[in-house]
């Protein structure tokens, strides 16, 4: 089930390097290693948190070391553990990925919420509906003209990796930690910059914002799913479209919930 090889980084590397490595490799977490052993992890959430910290916001990403923001000690799992144990460990520690190690503690791979969502899609058809698993209370919602700081606050307050942008009760966009980590924080009185990925894999500034609002950085017209749909089909849709979650709507197109990859991890952790 695990993915290998793992994208790794050293604790002496900078946050700017970690951010660009995540974007280039299309991953949401990096394993921090010393030699062949994992000593911590750094995720997009950790980068987003740095935007919330006033002192961090005053510093360039290339002056912040991975060691200052990484999570340690690292939670790992043995290569011979069962899938359900990986799910339970993720839920218990509220983390979305586990480095996989051998008996000697050497890094072999990583198992993530994406791997477990794929497992759910393949093995649990017809067992749950979206309504059985989705979140319906305390939804992470912002409006079009809420600032980026409000977006970060909602993510932090509700411990989520995405927020839904609504207009008169309907989902019109979605903002993820990827979108936030894509923004370069300003220096002193400079404007925010939103980068773009060129074919050369280099990132360049394409837009300038004094303070970006939700509408500036959201992905419009998000994929949605209805309460009555088979949960395994929803899981498959997340995998096929490379997304981490979808707004759940009723027959009138009004927002009623949110389903994410971690909801499928929780279902597996309960024993399937």
How many domains does one find in the chain? 1
Q: Coil, strand, or helix at residue 99? A: strand
Domain assignment of residue 152, yes or no: no
Domain assignment of residue 214, yes or no: no
Give percent above pLDDT 70 in the chain.
Answer: 87
**Which of 171-175, 189-193, 195-199 is modeled with the greatest confidence?**
171-175
Q: Are strands 29-34 and 219-220 parallel, antiparallel or unpaired?
A: unpaired
- Owning domain of residue 88: 8-112
pLDDT greater at residue 217 or residue 271: 217
Whole-angstrom Cα distance, residue 269 to residue 90?
Answer: 9
**Which of 49-53, 76-80, 191-195, 211-215 is modeled with the greatest confidence?**
76-80
Whole-angstrom Cα distance, residue 256 to residue 134?
Answer: 9
Domain assignment of residue 84, yes or no: yes
Domain assignment of residue 30, yes or no: yes
**pLDDT (tens digit per residue) in 211-257:** 789 999 999 999 999 999 999 999 999 999 999 999 999 999 999 99
Specify whether the CB–CB gap between 247 and 164 falls below 8 A.
yes
Instruction: Copy the structure tokens of residue 138.
Output: 């305390």
**pLDDT (tens digit per residue) in 124-171:** 999 999 999 999 999 999 999 999 989 989 998 998 989 999 999 999
Specify whether the CB–CB gap between 163 and 140 falls below 8 A.
yes
Domain assignment of residue 52, yes or no: yes
26: pLDDT confidence band, cut at 50, 70 and 90?
Answer: confident
Question: What pLDDT score does 55 carry?
Answer: 73
Instruction: Copy the structure tokens of residue 208.
Output: 């300038």
Tokens 């997009």 correspond to what residue? 44
Domain assignment of residue 15, yes or no: yes
Domain assignment of residue 137, yes or no: no
Domain assignment of residue 38, yes or no: yes
Predicted confidence (pLDDT) at residue 207 exceeds the cutoff of 60: no
CATH of residue 37's domain is: 3.10.580.10
pTM confidence score: 0.82
Q: Coil, strand, or helix at residue 82? A: coil
């Amino acid at each position: 089930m695990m993915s290998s090889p793992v994208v790794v980084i050293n604790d002496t590397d900078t946050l700017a390097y970690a951010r660009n490595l995540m974007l280039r490799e299309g991953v949401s977490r990096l394993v921090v290693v010393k030699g062949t052993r994992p000593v911590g992890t750094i995720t997009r959430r950790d980068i987003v948190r740095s935007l919330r910290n006033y002192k961090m916001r005053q510093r360039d990403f290339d002056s912040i070391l991975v060691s200052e923001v990484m999570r340690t000690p690292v939670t790992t799992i043995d290569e011979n553990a069962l899938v359900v144990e990986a799910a339970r460990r993720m839920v218990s520690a509220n983390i979305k990925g586990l480095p996989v190690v051998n008996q000697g503690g050497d890094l072999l791979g990583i198992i993530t919420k994406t791997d477990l969502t794929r497992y759910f899609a393949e093995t649990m058809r017809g067992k749950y509906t979206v309504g059985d698993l989705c979140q319906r209370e305390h939804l992470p919602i912002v409006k079009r003209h809420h600032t980026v700081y409000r977006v970060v606050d909602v993510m932090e307050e509700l411990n989520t990796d995405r927020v839904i942008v609504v207009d008169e009760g309907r989902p019109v966009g979605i903002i993820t930690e990827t979108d936030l980590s894509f923004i370069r924080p300003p220096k002193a009185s400079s404007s925010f910059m939103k980068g773009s990925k060129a074919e050369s894999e280099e990132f360049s500034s394409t837009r300038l914002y004094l303070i970006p609002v939700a509408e500036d950085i959201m992905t419009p017209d998000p994929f949605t799913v209805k309460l009555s749909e088979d949960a395994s089909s929803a899981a498959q849709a997340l995998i096929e479209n490379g997304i981490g979650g979808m707004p759940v709507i009723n027959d009138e197109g009004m927002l009623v919930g949110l389903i994410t990859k971690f909801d499928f991890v929780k279902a597996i952790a309960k024993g399937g």
